[in-house]
Amino acid sequence: MQCHAQLSSTFYDRTCPNALTTIRTTIRQAISSERRMAASLIRLHFHDCFVQGCDASLLLDETPTIVSEKTALPNLGSVRGFGIIEDAKREVEKTCPGVVSCADILAVAARDASSLVGGPSWTVKLGRRDSTTASHTLAETDLPGPFDPLSRLISGFANKGLSTRDMVALSGSHSIGQAQCFLFRDRIYSNGTDIDAGFASTRRRQCPQEDQNGNLAPLDLVTPNQLDNNYFKNLRQRKGLLQSDQVLLSGGSTDDIVLEYSNSPRAFASDFAAAMIKMGDISPLTGQNGIIRTVCGAIN
């Protein structure tokens, strides 16, 4: 039986009362110097939680005994922001050594990132502990991919206890951030009926049929640095960048949710916040399980 230990928003109130303020200062500095970092930090929390639960396993570097998740295909060359999390951890360690977990810092950083780029804020539940293991294998299988059909996206999130509505709301994080050319090349050269022709031709300029794999394009062309509901409006115009974006509005069970969010920024914001809280609840290590890492990239 899975013991569902309680996380609590007041977990550090006595042991490290300034923890959240300290983390926020680091995150604010990082995002003010590079807006795109907000997307990267939200994605770090997501890619952590979907592999072994929210245990900071993603942050562990390769060692003779640990096969890092960082080198798994969904993360390799694209997951970033590790240094920002280490910065936040270092600052927290100065005032409260050995108290605040890297897993909790990831959860707080994602919330702060959202609110700093115009997205919703929420009360983060705390008390996660850090893993002593990583799983490269699960990172290869459990993370949703940019080419996944709708059924696979739905089942992948359901396996983690997240509803279809949660999945669509969380996809709205693609209102910020960028994707590499090789992840959307097939879509923009497909001449498919599910992509706006003008949008495709604009995207081809930075993404030739050969080479330039790493060239970046914003996931949301309209307000690329603002976490808002424009992502859903784009889908209505067949301007989703990734196949896994546009598939949310393709005659399937998620169409109604996309239309609702495109019409109501408030509905999207409140569902996004709720889904992020639920995601942060995926299989945390609590109590005597796990450790508090001193440095997020290594076991003490």
Q: Which residues are catalytic?
A: 47
Concatenating the DSSP letter of every residue in 202-255 gives HHHHHS-SSS-TT-EEESSSSSTTS-STHHHHHHHTT--SSHHHHGGGSSSTTH
DSSP state of 189: T
Q: Which of 181, 189, 159, 54 is nearest to 110 (CA)?
A: 54
Q: What span, in angstroms and rounded, lies between the C-alpha atoms of 260 and 297?
A: 40
DSSP tag of 173: G
Which whole-number Å values give the CA distances from 255 to 165, 178, 221, in the listed order? 11, 24, 21
Beta bridge partners of 180: 216
| Backbone phi and psi for residue 239, each to the nearest 5 degrees, phi listed first | -115, 30
How far apart are the C-alpha atoms of 66 and 142, rounded to whole Å?
Answer: 18
Q: Please provide the size of the chain in residues.
A: 300
Q: Are 279 and 162 in contact (CB under 8 A)?
A: yes
Residue with tokens 């060359």: 77
Residue given tokens 């693609």 in the structure block:
174
Burial 29-63 (b: 16+ CB within 10 A, else e): ebbeeebbbbbbbbbbbbbbbbbbbbbbbbbbeee
